[in-house]
Amino acid sequence: MVVVALVSAISGLLYGYDTGIISGALLQISDDFQTGDGWEQVIAASILAGAVIGALTCSRLGERRGRRGTLLVVGIVFVVGTLGAALAPNPVLLSVARLVLGFAVGGATQTAPVYVAELAPTKYRGRLVLCFQIAIGVGILIATIVGATELVDWRISIGAAAVPAAIMFLLMLRLPESPRWLLKAGQDDRALEALERVRPDGYDVRAERDEIAELVQEENQASTSGWRGLREAWVRPALIVGCGLAIFTQLSGIEMIVYYSPTILTDNGFSDTVALRVSVALGATYLVTQLIGLAIIDRVGRRRLTLITLPGAALSLIVLGTFFVTDNAGKAQVPYIVATLVAFMAFTAGGIQLMGWLTGSEIYPLATRSAGAAAQSASLWGTNLLITLSLLTIIDTIGTGQTFWLYAAFNVVAFIFLFKRMPELTGRSLEQIEGRLHEGRFRPADFAADDRSRTPAR
């Protein structure tokens, strides 16, 4: 199980590092290749286009060929894409290599959490999901620190990711296939062997195998399953909430800040050093507030935490935009601008960013869960791609401050959407959530009414 935890952590680390390293690297790449805003957007966005393809492809590949086999392929693609990007002689090949790398990023974020969840004992499952979520923040922080040193050439900083990718591949060679997938494929004996390899001596693996087999049988007999099942009317509310939430995690402005904050700041008169140090502060804030959010989410509630933090994120962007619109973005205002950026990152990373991956594992019915998670992942990466391809162009067209205001408006729309659509899932079992969908009672008011009915009268 230590190896399983490491695989989960490395896949999250690679996601955070590979998407975050381009932030500081773009400053060097633009000097080496003499690129303008158009090419910078393509270079940054190519990994996201690959991630959409990887998430959708690996979802189907994981069902047909197994989670372990898919992750072994992903590990190889990680290494190839990373080395290709590091050795690229021009922006065209750099973009192509990052497209390949993106396939691995999307495939890993789609397959690794599913594989780990299916292999882990129930009491450790939450901790292993935590490893993945926190590792994303660690990856982003490491990427910003590497960029802020200004001593590491961009080719080395990008190519360094090949090392953890190779380690992930080697670790996967030691691990068995998912017992759940093996049972679904009719390989009962191999499923038992897989469980024996990741359970302590004396553990009743046969009872666990039988329990998994019952769930697999229920899934196989379900009338609503897979991608086709997502089109069913009773499943649609979950799909709307899940994909809507995924889209708004990106429209919140988080990727604008992660990818382009050094570029935005240097374009507005900040030195490279200051801009890169701000990136480190933002990366640290992301990690710390993610830890805080994960520590309190089960007590505060998913819906409540999201609705509390969204207004703070919107207000931070309004204030940030005002600095630039009123031409108060000079040296004297640097501390206030940095403080506002940090505040935005804290509200966003500690709130809505926690929900994008979490809801995909719990909001969908059992028989459509894999397809629903893939659709949600593709929605997230697709929105990220559109933002990354258009952001610098939007800034050039309407201005930096006005762009911050635009993203503040997205946060307001997100608040309205989630207030009306997203029920409080905290404290509900997966079976209870699926039951509400079956009953057509998936609105926030329906869940609140159930809570009131269970509260004893005084």
pLDDT in tens, 2-20: 788 788 888 889 888 888 7
pLDDT recorded at residue 457: 45
Whether pLDDT at 224 is above 70: no
Whether pLDDT at 264 is above 50: yes
Provide, rounded to the nearest whole percent, the portion of the chain with pLDDT above 90: 23
Mean pLDDT, range 109-133, rounded to an integer: 73
Mean pLDDT, range 314-341, rounded to an integer: 85
Whether pLDDT at 453 is above 60: no
pLDDT recorded at residue 253: 87
pLDDT recorded at residue 259: 67
Where residue 72 falls among pLDDT bands split at 50, 70, 90? very high
Whether pLDDT at 433 is above 50: yes
Which is more confident, 374 or 360? 374
The three-point CA angle 30-32-34 to 5° equals: 50
Q: Are 249 and 126 in contact (CB under 8 A)?
A: no
Mean pLDDT, range 135-144, rounded to an integer: 86
Whether pLDDT at 430 is above 70: no
> Which range is most confident: 156-165, 242-251, 408-417, 432-441?
408-417
- pLDDT tens digits along 389-414: 888 888 889 988 899 999 999 999 99
Ranges 147-151, 197-201, 305-309, 414-418: which has the least confidence: 147-151
Do the first three CATH levels of 1-175 and 229-458 match, i.e. the same topology?
Answer: yes
In 326-368, which ranges are continuous DSSP H helix?
Answer: 334-349, 355-358
Q: Say how many C-beta atoms besides its own lie within 10 A of residue 274's C-beta.
A: 17
Work out whether the CA dihedral 267, 271, 276, 277 comes out positive or negative.
negative
Q: Are 366 and 217 in contact (CB under 8 A)?
A: no
Could you give the CA distance from residue 162 to residue 9 in angstroms, rounded to a whole number? 15
Cα of 258 vs its chain's centroid, Å: 13
Q: Are 128 and 120 in contact (CB under 8 A)?
A: yes
Q: Which CATH class is domain 229-458?
A: mainly alpha
Mean pLDDT, range 124-137, rounded to an integer: 73
- pLDDT tens digits along 90-111: 989 999 999 999 999 888 887 8
Whether pLDDT at 329 is above 70: no
- pLDDT tens digits along 176-207: 988 888 888 888 888 888 888 878 777 777 88
Could you give the CA distance from residue 106 to residue 37 in angstroms, rounded to a whole number? 25
Whether pLDDT at 458 is above 60: no
Ranges 108-117, 231-240, 303-312, 415-424: which has the least confidence: 108-117
pLDDT recorded at residue 267: 72
> Which range is most confident: 343-347, 425-429, 430-434?
343-347
Q: Nearest Cα to 407, choosing from 243, 280, 248? A: 248
- pLDDT tens digits along 22-50: 877 887 888 888 877 778 878 888 888 89
Where residue 346 falls among pLDDT bands split at 50, 70, 90? very high
Ranges 205-214, 270-279, 354-363: which has the least confidence: 354-363
pLDDT recorded at residue 318: 95
pLDDT recorded at residue 181: 84
In sequence order, the 6+-apart residues with CB closer than 8 A to the CB of 55 are: 106, 107, 109, 110, 374, 377, 378, 381
* Tokens 């690229």 sit on residue: 88
Query: For the chain, which residues make up each domain, given as ranges?
Result: 1-175, 229-458
Q: Which CATH architecture has domain 1-175?
A: Up-down Bundle (1.20)
